[in-house]
Amino acid sequence: MIRINRLAYATIETPDLDRQSDYYREVLGLTAGYSDRKTIFLHAALDRHSVILRSGDRAACTELGLHIAHHENLSALQTQLASNGVVVERRSDSQPGVADSLVFTDPKGTMITVFNEPEQPVPTTGGVGAAPTTIGHVAFNVEDVAATVDFYCNVLGFRFSDAIEDFFVWLRCNPNHHSVNFVRGKRIKMHHLAFEVRDWNHLQTSCDFLSKAGYPTIWGPGRHGCGHNIFTYHRDPDGNIIELFAELDQMREELGYFEPRPWHRQRPQQPKVWPSNPAASNLWGPMPPPDFLD
């Protein structure tokens, strides 16, 4: 089976491209690359693309860019997808730096673009705004968590990392504890988009900068139970929830457990189904506001 090995980027549609562009460049601190009247490619320090902003009717995440290893074959993945009933389109030059890609739709209606070209980070302006190092994960509200997890694991090769009962699941595609997560919601939508920062100090200075720029923290700081990352959340100008995090659990696949950390309360820390209690959400820090999970 050919497995996705990285979340490359998220495409975010917006009714106000200029306003979102200002936030993602000057507040979040991503660097703008190629752009035209309706699309802007932005990247964090370690990415080629992290976010594609696209002019649209409403705020929504409409596409994920996913990567397979350079030595893997796109044609073989195309066959793998087709054998699972997925309608796949092969596209040439779908975007700058991606000469060959597969495009299809996942069960929740998000367009997925898969490519295998080596992604070289491009120079960043650096030192502006929160300036995360890389895109981390995308969380979605979905109506049918089990069906979405089944597709991502059995068709795209993601692995189970953690769940809270049967309504919240975290999946990984590399050592990072999760690159996507799915929580049951009343409607299908992106729940949050997360970026990794270097460490606790970077998180603190980011929050200082964001609050001064008019983007207060809506949840955090705290340390999650599932994934054990330290976190803060705020909203972008369209109301999309943006997470900044550090110290995410790292899977030691050959050992079958997460790299031991001093704050783990299970030794070894293994993938598991957590009960729905506060420890799954937080080891410490404030609990989420009542409307956080929609």
The closest of 229, 223, 259 to 245, measured between CA atoms, is 229
Which C-beta is closer to Fe ion: that of 66 or that of 68?
66
Site size toward Fe ion, by CB under 5 A: 2
Q: Is the peptide bond before 290 cis (omega within 30 degrees of 0)?
A: no
Q: In whole angstroms, how close is the CB of 243 to Fe ion at the nearest point?
A: 5
Binding to Fe ion (CB under 5 A) within 232-291 occurs at: 243
x/- mask, Fe ion, residues 52-91, rule CB under 5 A, reads ----------------------------------------
CA 160 to chain centre: 16
CB of 47 to Fe ion, least distance (A): 17
Shortest CA distance to 272 belongs to which of 255, 256, 286? 256
If residue 281 lies in a helix (H) or strand (E), which one and from where to where? helix 278-281
Nearer to Fe ion, 102 or 244 (CB): 244
Give dist(CA 289, CA 257) in Å, integer: 31
- 156 vs 194, which CB is nearer to Fe ion? 194
Q: How far apart are CA 285 and CA 93, in angstroms?
A: 45
Q: Using an 8 Å Cβ cutoff, are 223 and 278 in contact?
A: no
Q: In the range 183-242, which residues lie near Fe ion by CB under 5 A? A: 194
- Specify the residue, 88 or 164, whose C-beta has the smaller distance to Fe ion: 164
Shortest spacing between CB 70 and Fe ion, in angstroms: 28
171 binds Fe ion (CB under 5 A): no
Can you give the binding site for Fe ion, defined by CB under 5 A? Answer: 194, 243
